[in-house]
Amino acid sequence: MELHHLTATKARELFDAKELSPVELLDAVVARTAAVEPSINALTEEMLEVAYDAARASQERFAKPGTQLGALEGIPLLLKEEQPIAGYKSEEGSLTLKGNIAEETHPIVDRIFAAGAVVHGRTTTPEFCSAGYTHSKLWGVTRNPWNLALTPGGSSGGSGAALAAGATVLATGSDIGGSIRIPSSFCGLVGFKPPFGRVPGMAPFNQDTYCADGPMGRSVADVAMLQNVIAGPHRADQASIRPAYVLGAPNAAAAVGMRVALCVNLGDYAIDPAVEANTRAAAEALRNAGVIVDEVALPWTRKQIVETASAHFGGIMGAFVSEIAAEQRELLMPYTLDFVESTAKSGSFAEGLFSEAEIYAPLGKLLESYDALLCPTNAATGLAADFPDPAAPIEIDGQHLSWIEANITVPFNLIGRVPVLSVPSGLAPNGIPTGVQIVGRTYDDATVFTLGAALEESLNLWTQASWWPEVQTTANTLA
């Protein structure tokens, strides 16, 4: 496997064996970034001076026996731009914040630096992270390295595109409606939405049960490695849970005898036939790994889920963005304005709370009998890179839907205490990966990682060097 597509766990093994140095790996990642970035446009900035200083310091620590090493020692990592660093730009993809400089650093950023990671840049998002695709007036269009005509998803689209293209080894994301899992699925990656409070956030959205900062990577073990660094209580976040929850090394063998409920459509979601086929293939792979998988039904409706989410967003995130829209409307993206306007028409926040409880009840009952739920991550097999929302519908199995109706991630933000791991399930005919979500019982993170490791081993897809895409030039691909 080429250096730029190493997993973090393999890189650490090579560092420990003195067969690779952090500087050599950073060189490979920086060279790959230079080659692919004109095509994918996944970075808002590079931090090469900081990165090389960190890589050289890590290299010295590896060279000295007995030196204490960080959990991410020497590993190249990209940060989602939404997670601020004091003294650096904090623009959130919006012309309304162009040139804004952060005064505070996100708690997980401090932890990542302290763990010895080589942070070499920051990744693109849609404006205010309010879309499931990644393009903005400020940063332009971010493209999926598997198919440059299509989006890597959003809102952590830059992180997803960079990881899949080999422009980094680990990356951070955040998830309020699927923003880690959507790009993980479209880009053939592993991504984890931690349960509410597991990872500290920043005010005011650290209080929002839909929100979670989390890890993205190229293997289940990589994602567990980063999750262990960023999890745990923090003095600035009263919602952060103590004590810190430490994941063990993901163990596929421990999944034998576990029970998983398969629900392909989560009630009445329209599902692309390729997504359904790959989801069923993932279920069969779990069976081959010794997991008991039964198909079940849930009484959810897409309409109730979208209405419930809208009520929540209208009371929190929508209200936040609407204040900006009132004064600087002409600078905002159409999807941002649509988000504000659609959530303003939703039901009350209190009605949403009642509906969230109604939605959780059947899943809670189901998970009394099963260790986890298995379902697709995205219902569609891709959206255009410059998706012209809000005007464009998505056709799935004969139905015309909005982009949010094509994301099967939203239900698990409504019930934000459940851990959700998204892993690849195969490829669609258009060359875009598909993914499945492994949804655990509330705060039972370990089980979803165990099942993820079993699926990773049984499917044997993204563990192969041949899995990762060859990135074509934009001109050749879109001609």
pLDDT (0 to 100) of residue 473: 60
Taking only the tens place, the pLDDT of each residue in 47-99 is 999 999 999 999 999 999 999 999 999 999 999 999 999 999 999 999 999 99
**Candidates 58, 80, 159, 193; catalytic one:** 80
CA–CA distance, 152 with 148 (Å, rounded to integer)? 9
SS3 138: coil
The distance in angstroms from the start CA to the end CA of the chain is: 30
The answer to whether domain 3-478 has CATH 3.30.590.10 is no
CA–CA distance, 77 with 56 (Å, rounded to integer)? 15
pLDDT (0 to 100) of residue 477: 43
pLDDT (0 to 100) of residue 8: 98
SS3 371: coil
Q: Which residue ranges make up each domain of the chain? A: 3-478
Low-confidence ranges of the chain (pLDDT < 70): 473-479
Catalytic residue status for 355 = no
| 45 phi-psi bin (left φ>0, alpha ψ -120 to 50, beta other) | beta
CA–CA distance, 121 with 106 (Å, rounded to integer)? 15
CA–CA distance, 457 with 463 (Å, rounded to integer)? 8
Structural contact between residues 306 and 414, judged by C-beta atoms closer than 8 angstroms? no
Structural contact between residues 232 and 244, judged by C-beta atoms closer than 8 angstroms? yes
Reported in sequence order, the residue ranges of 21-159 that DSSP labels E, i.e. its strands, are 43-46, 76-80, 118-123, 135-136, 140-141
**Candidates 179, 219, 422, 458; catalytic one:** 179
Which structure tokens are listed for 189?
């990656």
**Candidates 90, 155, 156, 458; catalytic one:** 155
CA–CA distance, 372 with 262 (Å, rounded to integer)? 9
Structural contact between residues 89 and 138, judged by C-beta atoms closer than 8 angstroms? no
Which structure tokens are listed for 275?
């997504």
- Write the burial class of residue 52 (CB in 10 Å: 0-12 exposed, 13-18 middle, 19+ buried): middle
Catalytic residue status for 342 = no
Which structure tokens are listed for 407?
């994301």
- Write the burial class of residue 242 (CB in 10 Å: 0-12 exposed, 13-18 middle, 19+ buried): exposed
Catalytic residue status for 402 = no
CA–CA distance, 138 with 331 (Å, rounded to integer)? 10
pLDDT (0 to 100) of residue 143: 98
pLDDT (0 to 100) of residue 341: 84
